[in-house]
Amino acid sequence: MSTILRPYLYLAGGIALVLVLNLLVGGIGSYDQRIVVNIGINMILAVSLNLVNGFTGQFSLGHAGFMSVGAYASAAFTTMVLPAASDPMSQGLYLIVALLVGGLAAAVAGLLVGVPSLRLKGDYLAIVTLGFGEIIRVILQNVSSLGGALGLANIPRHTTFLWVFIILVFVVFVIERVIRTTYGKGFLAVRDDEIAAEAMGVNTTRYKVVAFVVGAFFAGIAGGLYAHYNSLIKPDDFGFLKSVEIVVMVILGGMGSTYGVIFAAAALTYLPEWLRSFTMFGIKFSDFRMSIYSLVLIVLMLVRPQGLFGGFSFKGRRAAAKKAPIG
């Protein structure tokens, strides 16, 4: 079969799978549906952060910040600019437009954050992105036209299972496709050895900014989906903890393995929900679930830091970081 067509067949297959699943999802309860949609949104977040943290080897701890920019921009656009939509056709159309607005706003934020901070490395970059995320949150808390700390309410519920997962299929398609090209290998080169990549003519700064902006764009779209699903968004929905959650999905998924990251996003979204209803020896785990979650994280780092599906281990980067002097 032609190599030109094959990727599109994957794309078509992915969409077909989503359509079939959509029929099945119609039959489950609304509580479970909510979990499934949250899983999908988290998958988009994790796959997009994986471009930055996994493929490009940077360490962003502010993904929730970009998500919030997308959520607020798209929600504001829907509630303040677009007219009300009644039929599913225009609802879908309006959602797409609002998501693009949210994605672009987040991409601009990604550019503003990325350009100055990408000179920093490792935990310093992590801290700066964390700081930016917190600043975005504090600003949102103080903008009264966006609802302040109480949040923005009455966002039309345009997001459906179908939209979330179709968009996920496209995000995976884009990232997996780009990463296989000669251009896309540049991201991996930056991760593996920045100095060697530069010496080979790769503009590493440019790559890092692109990864940041594209990652932020998709995070913004995920934020838009979140806003149009929950109808109410608050600055605290996008705190430091949300960023940590997404980072953990990427690490657990193996840093740079898209499918591992997708699986980890599903598992980590479902785990706390499952613990919520889990009882053993008469002890209700719902109280302990977040303690268990954090313990799992610690044990994982001790036992299997390369993630459950780690193709790329941290080793390469540690070696690169350690052998600092070129002679």
Asked if 12 touches another protein (CB under 8 A), the answer is: no
Considering only residues 17 through 56, tell me which ones interact with another protein, judged by CB under 8 A.
none
49 vs 245: CA distance, rounded Å = 11
**Sites for another protein among residues 266-295 (CB under 8 A):** 287-288, 290-291, 293-295
Residue from 33, 85, 108, 192 binding another protein (CB under 8 A)? 192
**What is the spatial distance between Cα 62 and Cα 269, in angstroms, rounded to a whole number?**
19
Find the helix or strand (DSSP H, E) in which 244 lies: helix 240-252
3-class state of residue 166 by DSSP: helix
Contact pick of 38, 74, 117, 160 for another protein (by CB under 8 A): 117
Beta bridge partners of 284: 279
Selected range binding another protein among 20-28, 103-111, 229-237, 304-312, rule: CB under 8 A:
304-312
Residue whose CB is less far from another protein, 86 or 144? 144
CB of 96 to another protein, least distance (A): 18
Q: Which stretch binds another protein (CB under 8 A): 19-27, 64-72, 177-185, 219-227?
A: 177-185
When asked if residue 188 is in the footprint of another protein (CB under 8 A), the reply is yes
Shortest distance, position 158 Cβ to another protein, whole Å: 25
CB atoms within 10 A of CB 256: 25
Q: Which tokens go with 130?
A: 């964390």
Task: Determine, following the binding rule CB under 8 A, whether residue 219 of this chain makes contact with another protein.
Answer: no
Q: Which of 66, 72, 77, 132 binds another protein (CB under 8 A)?
A: 132
Report the distance separating Cα 98 and Cα 185, nearest Å: 32
CA 223 to chain centre: 9
Longest dimension (CA), the chain: 67
Check if the beta carbon of residue 215 is closer than 8 Å to that of residue 175. no
Closest approach of Cβ 159 to another protein, in Å?
24
